[in-house]
Amino acid sequence: MLHNIFKLLLEMKKWWVAKKQCLRYNHNMENSDRESDDVTPLDLLFSSNYTTREKRNERLDICKGCDRITFATRQCKECGCFMALKTWLKEAECPIGKWISE
Ligand code: SF4
């Protein structure tokens, strides 16, 4: 149990760092009028931030078919986020626009 909590916290820390990289990437994108999404790993703690299972699976299926994913960890090479987790959040979005927030 403690081991699983530690693993989750470690995963969240990695995602938090990756999120900062993602925001920097979005900020540096030329000619982009898209706003950066505001999701953080802490949003996973509140079920009100979650989308439906159908929407999450739809997003994850898109990621699984994307050439920008590292399949073993399901980590996006564009933003560094862990897509098995990020796809649950309503306000999350793909950094290159393959799927959008609700
Ligand atoms: S978030 Fe976008 S770029 Fe990243 S793996 Fe998913 S579909 Fe590909």
Could you state, in order of their start, the residue ranges of all structural domains in the chain? 2-86
**Residue 84 CB–ligand 1 contact under 6 Å:** no
The model carries a pTM of: 0.68
On whether the CB atoms of residues 12 and 41 are closer than 8 A, the answer is yes
Counting atoms of ligand 1 from 1, which one is nearest the CA of 93?
1
Residue 102's pLDDT is 86
Nearest-angstrom CA–CA distance, 102 and 52? 11
User: What's the 66 CA to ligand 1 centre distance in angstroms?
Assistant: 6
Mean of the per-residue pLDDT values of the chain: 81
Nearest-angstrom CA–CA distance, 53 and 41? 18
**Residue 23 CB–ligand 1 contact under 6 Å:** no
21-31: average pLDDT: 54
Phi-psi region of 74 (alpha: psi -120 to 50; beta: other; left: phi over 0): left
User: Would you state the torsion angle of the CA atoms of residues 12, 61, 91, 45, taken in this order, to the nearest 10 degrees?
Assistant: -40
Residue % of the chain over a pLDDT of 90: 55
Nearest CA to ligand 1 atom 7: 63
User: What's the 36 CA to ligand 1 centre distance in angstroms?
Assistant: 15
Residue 34's pLDDT is 44
pLDDT value at 85 more than 50: yes
User: What's the 69 CA to ligand 1 centre distance in angstroms?
Assistant: 6
